[in-house]
Amino acid sequence: MQVKYIFKMENLMSGCIMCGNEDLERFPAEFVPFLQERMFQNKKVETFLCHCPTCGFYYSSVRPSDEEMSRLYNGYRGEAYQKQRQKFESNYTEAFNHALGFSEENEILRNSIMLGCVKKYISPSCIKTILDYGGDSGQYIPRIFKKAEKFVYDVSGVKTVRGVKSVSDERVLKNCSWDLIMCCHVLEHVSYPLDLIEKLKSLMHHGSFLYIELPYEDYMEDFIKQGLPVPIHEHINAFRKETLEQAFGSDEFFILENEYVSGFDTDGSACSKYLRCLVKKADPTEFPELEKMKSACKNLSDTAVLGYNVVDKITALRKRQTLKEKIFSVKKVKKHRVIEILGIKMKFNV
Ligand SMILES: [Zn+2]
């Protein structure tokens, strides 16, 4: 078979795709043979592993296109998928494949990890609507939310479990008022995770919660230590607590919990630790400091860029930057306070 080498533009990207830091470490890496066949149709795609020392994020330099992603995920964990994968990974049997998505053990594990966090901060009776973004059939939405209307948004289009409705229309997704959004074991798969985080933020109203769960993977560190190329499987991203701290580093979102928890191996990726994070979009009155700045800026022509809409506006313009540190800096200089937004400095009397 003739092997075709593809060089992707993404290899030229310089900054961390989550926080924008340009001082990245790069290590030799390669896609596992299963992905090379299924996703890239046997074209040899060169990649390396990037590590951002600022936010701890690890990711493959190649970001698969929508077409490559749909080749991988269409019929995900279906019969053909399982057979194709077992060709390369002998332990990926039919029973193993089934257990990943549908076993009771997995459901119990996922529920216990999530509820161990959300029960501390959320009273189930206060949640009227839940969206499980990328939640397969909706089987992982905890049953304690008895009164809530439950929805799932999933590209695979699989049939939902009883009591869960499917939402596929983007307009419906945007127009619903979600009290709790779950996004579990999704962000490690996507090519543009920051875009997805921004989308999830845009679906939240003041007072809503976002629960994120991810595998904690550190196998790459062993390969790096031994000087071996790091194998890249379908988890093309590996998050750390710091990555999420940066991603929610605006005054509008509170991180209620962001921690590593232990679990047992369920998804075949040698992952026994998880990262879980609960974020709340708070009411503006919960941010007295920003309120003060807004009122101080009332009479200026730049007022339009201040306030809460500024977060979305600036994020859209400079996605890879850290809002607090690089765009929205506030310094006290003698008797003045200097606020810098998008390079515009404004001086206010204290
Ligand atoms: Zn980073």
Q: 284 - beta bridge partners?
A: none
The segment(s) of the chain belonging to CATH 3.40.50.150 are: 106-221+234-284
Give the CATH architecture of domain 106-221+234-284.
Answer: 3-Layer(aba) Sandwich (3.40)
**Residue 71: pLDDT band by 50, 70, 90 thresholds?**
very high
Distance 200 CA to ligand 1 centre (A): 19
Q: Could you count the other beta carbons within 10 Å of the beta carbon of residue 1?
A: 4
Q: What is the pLDDT of residue 212?
A: 98
- Give residues with Cβ within 8 angstroms of 238, minimum separation 6: 57, 58, 59, 188, 215, 216, 217, 218, 220
Distance in angstroms (rounded) separating the CA atoms of residues 350 and 347: 9
Distance 223 CA to ligand 1 centre (A): 21
Distance 20 CA to ligand 1 centre (A): 6
Question: What's the pLDDT tens digit per position in 15-61?
Answer: 899 998 989 999 999 999 999 999 999 998 999 999 999 999 999 99
The DSSP annotation for 266-287 comes to: -SSS---EEEEEEEEE--GGG-
Q: Which two tokens stand for residue 110?
A: 């996922």
Dist. CA 50 → ligand 1 center (Å): 10
User: What pLDDT does residue 13 have?
Assistant: 55
- Dist. CA 57 → ligand 1 center (Å): 6
- Please tell me the distance between residue 187's alpha carbon and the centre of ligand 1 in angstroms: 15
**Cβ(145)–Cβ(127) below 8 Å:** yes
* pLDDT (mean) for 128-146: 93
CA 128 to centroid of ligand 1, rounded, Å: 35
- Token pair, residue 176, equals 């619903």
CA 296, CA 45: separation in Å to the nearest integer? Answer: 53
Q: pLDDT (tens digit, 9 = 90+) per residue, 201-227?
A: 999 998 899 999 999 998 899 999 999
CA of 18 to the centre of ligand 1 (A): 5
Where is 79: in which H helix or E strand?
helix 79-88
In this prediction, residue 299 carries a pLDDT of: 42
Stretch among 192-196, 227-231, 262-266 having the lowest mean pLDDT = 262-266
**Ligand 1 centroid distance, CA of 53 (Å):** 7
User: Tell me, what's the pLDDT at 187?
Assistant: 97
- Residue 350 scores a pLDDT above 50: no
